């Protein structure tokens, strides 16, 4: 789909994303028919199947830091170089984590019970059997609106009563890591984080702790937690938690960055207006990641190849740069590294970012990032509203509905909008539940996830909608060519200068920083 944005990045996002929309500017029409015809479902599936083969040959995963990801990098690099792009692999290090076995959570006494659970990314490993102690500020029953701040202060936890004790704390109000650090400081040997209990936050849910912890951390549903709390109120309850993990604080991984060839770049008029078209290439360790995000990577690669084959790269108004990000599932780390590695001058030349993170979900909706904030979420940097209209106008021209989705920080556009760079893109849906209203418009099954195999081993080549790949693949191709060929660009004078006043106002009006999630999994 991982902790909240903090520090300079979080402050930048808060300053950039505001809740007052600015009017969208008009962008001149670009005929994208030729490119859309060239970007076929078969072409996208060719790359998706190649990624599946790579996963099959590498323990069923393409996660950053493992051989399957390195093979994915090599595959994409080879394909791009064959198409004439100037390609580099940008190395960086990150804190690697994976679970080596299924975590367990069971009640030893007074009643033997096994609970459905899962592990939080960067949990510590080990086996702990001890008395369960609820945090002081769990909110039971949960309220309609998010209200829990359980575990967010040191006072949330009484000192651990025994050598082996397990803290039980509710989701909400702060980063998961804060809750775990406070529990560990109070002497607890393991932590169970249960879902908040308000609408949409009842099932078993996990996220990331951001950095490695020394104690096991697992999840629990709200209903199971309530039952456990009732038992604990009547007398001591002993639980057993088991996790087995692999961590490495300095694992190397890569972004793949493909630019126009020097020869093609010479022909581009506006060389200082680079359009970065990106998708994350890594999967979660649990599976091959063919929808998340083999679909976005395969679609982006197919667009790059088709533009080259049609010689469109020789006729652009502004340069296109194709990017395949590493370690997104560990926290947008590849995109963060890329943006942070740019000098101020280099960063100023990034004209816009298009992000394609999942375009083949089986139970899909045509989601478009809400650049103007019209659905009530935060507004993207000036120009994001125009990018949104490129997609929505395209879908409308094809007689297809679309839905806005908030700039919530859940994918690789996050570091770009934090730097004030206009962004937009498509999303076919992850672990969200399709509504009856959406099913009536888009088909599929109401009450089920948009991607039933999200972050699971079954996210394989069978976990794709060819209809979604066709519709969203065409829209992605249309937006890529429109932004790179448009003469007017996002703004009337073809630059961001026309929006200087709007940008200054945006800096003055701050909104809460959005959560950043591991591979689209919630952090609070």
Buried residues in 365-377 as b, exposed as e (16+ CB within 10 A): bbbbbbbbbeeeb
Q: Token pair for residue 360?
A: 């083949």
Annotation says 145 is catalytic: no
The 8-class DSSP code of residue 25 comes to P
C-alpha closest to that of 444 among 429, 456, 454: 429
The number of helices, as runs of H, and strands, as runs of E, in the chain is 15, 15
Of 70, 196, 286, 328, which one is the catalytic site residue? 328
Residue 399: partners with Cβ closer than 8 Å, 6 or more residues away? none
Give residue for tokens 């690669």.
301
Question: Residue 115 and residue 433: Cα distance in Å, rounded?
Answer: 23
Cβ atoms of 245 and 123 within 8 Å: the answer is: yes
Full DSSP string of 471-483? HHHHHHHHHHHHH
Helix (H) or strand (E) holding 505: helix 500-508
Residue 235: partners with Cβ closer than 8 Å, 6 or more residues away? 110
C-alpha closest to that of 339 among 251, 259, 261, 413: 413
Full DSSP string of 72-85? HHHHHHHHHHHTT-
Evaluated on CA atoms 326, 328, 330, 334, the torsion sign reads: positive
Catalytic residues: 328
């Amino acid at each position: 789909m991982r902790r909240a944005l903090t520090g300079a990045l979080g402050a930048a996002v808060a300053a950039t994303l505001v809740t007052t929309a600015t009017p969208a500017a008009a962008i001149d029409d670009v005929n994208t028919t030729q490119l859309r015809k060239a970007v076929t479902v078969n072409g996208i599936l060719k790359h998706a199947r190649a990624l599946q083969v790579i996963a099959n040959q590498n323990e069923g995963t393409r996660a950053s830091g493992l051989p399957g990801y390195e093979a994915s990098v090599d595959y994409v690099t080879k394909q791009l170089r064959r198409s004439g792009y100037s390609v580099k692999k940008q190395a960086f290090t990150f804190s690697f984590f994976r679970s080596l076995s299924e975590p367990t959570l069971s009640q030893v006494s007074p009643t033997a019970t096994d609970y459905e659970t899962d592990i939080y990314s960067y949990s510590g490993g080990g086996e702990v059997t001890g008395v369960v102690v609820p945090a002081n500020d769990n909110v039971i029953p949960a309220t309609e609106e998010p209200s829990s701040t359980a575990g967010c202060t040191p006072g949330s936890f009484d000192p651990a009563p025994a050598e082996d004790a397990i803290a039980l704390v509710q989701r909400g109000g702060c980063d998961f890591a804060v809750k775990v650090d406070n529990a560990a400081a109070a002497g607890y040997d393991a932590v169970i984080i249960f879902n908040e209990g308000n609408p949409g936050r009842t099932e078993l849910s996990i996220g990331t702790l951001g950095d490695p912890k020394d104690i096991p951390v697992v999840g629990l549903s709200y209903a199971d937690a309530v039952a456990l709390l009732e038992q604990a109120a009547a007398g001591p309850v002993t639980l057993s938690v088991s996790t087995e993990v692999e961590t490495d604080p300095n694992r190397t991984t890569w972004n793949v960055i493909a630019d126009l060839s020097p020869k093609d770049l010479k022909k581009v008029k506006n060389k200082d207006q680079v359009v970065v078209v990106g998708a994350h290439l890594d999967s979660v360790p649990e599976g091959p990641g063919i929808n998340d995000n083999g679909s976005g990577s395969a679609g982006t690669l197919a667009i790059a190849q088709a533009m080259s084959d049609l010689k469109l790269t020789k006729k652009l108004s502004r340069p296109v740069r194709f990017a395949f990000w590493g370690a997104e599932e560990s926290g947008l780390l590849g995109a963060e590294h890329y943006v942070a590695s740019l000098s101020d001058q280099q960063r100023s030349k990034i004209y816009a970012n298009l992000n394609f993170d999942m375009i083949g979900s089986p139970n899909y909706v045509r989601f478009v990032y809400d650049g103007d904030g019209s659905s009530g979420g935060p507004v993207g940097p000036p120009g994001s509203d125009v990018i949104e209209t490129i997609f929505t106008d395209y879908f409308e021209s094809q007689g297809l509905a679309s839905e806005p989705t908030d700039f919530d920080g859940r994918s690789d556009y996050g570091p770009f909008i934090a730097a004030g760079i206009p962004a937009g893109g498509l999303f076919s849906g992850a672990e969200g539940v399709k509504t009856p209203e959406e099913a009536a418009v888009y088909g599929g099954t109401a009450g089920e996830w948009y991607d039933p195999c999200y972050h699971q081993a079954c996210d394989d080549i069978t976990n794709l909608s060819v209809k979604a790949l066709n519709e969203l693949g065409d829209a992605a191709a249309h937006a890529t060519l429109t932004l790179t060929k448009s003469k007017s660009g996002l703004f009337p004078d073809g630059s961001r200068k026309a929006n200087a006043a709007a940008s200054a106002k945006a800096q003055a009006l701050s909104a809460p920083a959005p959560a950043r999630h591991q591979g689209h999994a919630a952090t609070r």
